Amino acid sequence: MPNNCDVVERRNVELHFTHSTRLAVHNNRDPGGISMSEQKRRRRRERGGALTEEQQLKLKAKLADSQARAQQNQLAVRQDRTAKVPLTPAQQRLWTAWQLDPQDSVYNLAGTLTFQGQLNKAWVQAGFAHLVAKHGILNSRFSEEAGTTVQQLQNDNAFTFIDIPMQSDIAQQAFEIADKPFDLTAEPLLRVALLEAQGECTLLVVMHHIVTDGTSMQQLFNEFIQAYALLQSQQDLPAIESKADYLDYALWLAKQDHSELLAKQLTDWQGALGDDFEPLRLPANSLARQGGNYPISTQSLALPNALWQQVQGLTKQHQVTPYLVLLSAFQYLLHRYSDQNDVKVGVPIANRHHAQTHGLIGFFINTQVVRLEVAPEDCFASLLEKAKAFSQFAQANQDLPFEHLLDAIKPERSTGSHPLFQVMFNYLKRDKGAMDACKAYHSKIPKRCAFRCRLICN
């Protein structure tokens, strides 16, 4: 253990692995100029011509059934845009937490964009008004009716805008705005602040987690930059299309009968995780606080290029992703620090496997518990194979909401600590194209961890 571990032990640490990558796009055509997809279609047509009449009828029936199921799986745009919609299981958990303590801001998600020069306040407000009109979940209210919690879109496209004149202590101002609790029943759940400084301007965006997640925050920033660029060039913002949004997704989810699938996945998850959920014996455990309110320290590290090349080499050698290499290394490090062979960490997943959820803003994210069992004879290659097998299992069983697993396991709970894991690992690819184009950079506001974790690796 390092000599300066007493410094690390006293605070939550958020590690940021950053590295820029370039993707090459190849043209999948043969020398004759026929695309691979066209070749596949030709082969299917040739096979179809060789089928008997009975086989062709069965094939047509199968295709018709597939089309019907695909149609049934579509997110339908609700006719009444202000209709009251049930919450998703993940939203319900946050609603319950908010009811227990409405003054707790632990589920506020905040991020900043810092620009060179100053932003036009009118364009900023027009840009976000456009985004609220496009993503109705940002201006929804929550309430209980006849024992059921519902969410409802408001018609006014409202959000809270705060203009902070030039001050010396911008960081403190930003923290206070980000830490102010939301009233889920009575106010917009999007808060935008403009903080001016000498030669630059910081745009602070705060949302309650019940309407957003990390992917959505990035989506919102990208769309704002695009909207602001249009306004800056004196162009009209695009018309709002009539497309499915997060409330349509919540309505669709409530109508699905996944009981049989979820029951099977729950059984599989319980078998994969076992019965032992002993907390990791990390050095910081001796400093546990009642209520789980810890001061947070953030440590950002950029992987040296040589080390990143080694990571890339491992991905090719073992046919895994960089995420899996870094997660395995992180879990092995936790094994060394805790001297425990059964290492479980929480891993957020995008949970956007429905095609129509891409590009939407909302609380889609799900959390999975990822287990790595370290044996004395393991080398890193064998650990990677174990991690790869568990990752494939988790991906095949990603429909199960985390809340269902938590309710079924019923682990021993303690105030201020998560019952299934104390450490999280979040591997999020950031799309910095729009930010680089306007020379802006993104950062987070240090806050308490919503999952009561002692250590988060981002």
Provide DSSP, 272-291. Answer: HH-S--PPP--GGGGG--GG
Give the three-state DSSP class for 43. Answer: helix
The pLDDT value recorded for residue 450 is 47
Which pLDDT score, from 0 to 100, does residue 439 have? 54
* Whether domain 85-249 has CATH 3.30.559.10: yes
Which among 288, 349, 303 has a CA at the least distance from the CA of 90? 349
Q: Which of 278, 213, 285 is nearest to 455 (CA)?
A: 285
Q: Which pairing describes strands 85-86 and 148-153: parallel, antiparallel, or unpaired?
A: antiparallel
The side-by-side arrangement of strands in the sheet containing 160-164 is 160-164, 190-197, 200-208, 108-116, 441-444
Please name the amino acid found at residue 280. L
Residues facing 196 on adjacent strands: 201
Alpha-carbon distance values, 103 to 97, 99, 142, 182 (Å):
11, 9, 16, 8
Give how far the C-alpha of residue 244 lies from the chain's centroid of Cα atoms, to the nearest Å.
Answer: 19
Pairing status of strand 200-208 against strand 108-116 = antiparallel
Question: Tell me, what's the pLDDT at 33?
Answer: 44
Domain 258-457 sits in CATH 3.30.559.30:
yes
Question: Could you give the CA distance from residue 252 to residue 152 in angstroms, rounded to a whole number?
Answer: 15
What is residue 41's predicted lDDT score, i.e. its pLDDT?
55
d(CA 340, CA 240): 53
Residue among 10, 1, 15 at smallest CA distance from 456: 15
Q: Which residue's entry shows tokens 């910095």? A: 432
Would the CA dihedral through 72, 78, 83, 85 be positive or negative?
Answer: positive
pLDDT score, position 438: 56
Which residues in the chain are classed under CATH 3.30.559.10?
Answer: 85-249
Q: What DSSP designation does 430 have? A: -
Which of 299-302's residues contact partners 24+ apart within 8 Å by CB, and which partners? 299/13, 299/14, 299/15, 300/15, 300/16, 300/18, 301/15, 301/16, 301/17, 302/17, 302/18, 302/19
For the chain, give the mean pLDDT.
81
Check: CB of residue 413 under 8 Å from CB of residue 275: no
Low-confidence ranges of the chain (pLDDT < 50): 1-35, 48, 448-451
Q: Is residue 329 a contact partner of residue 315, using CB atoms and an 8 Å limit?
A: no
The pLDDT assigned to 322 comes to 94
Helix, strand, coil share (%) of the chain residues, nearest 5 = 45, 20, 40
Task: Summarize pLDDT for 147-176 with one digit per residue, the tens.
Answer: 899 999 998 888 999 998 876 678 888 889
CA dist 24 and 21 (Å) reads: 10
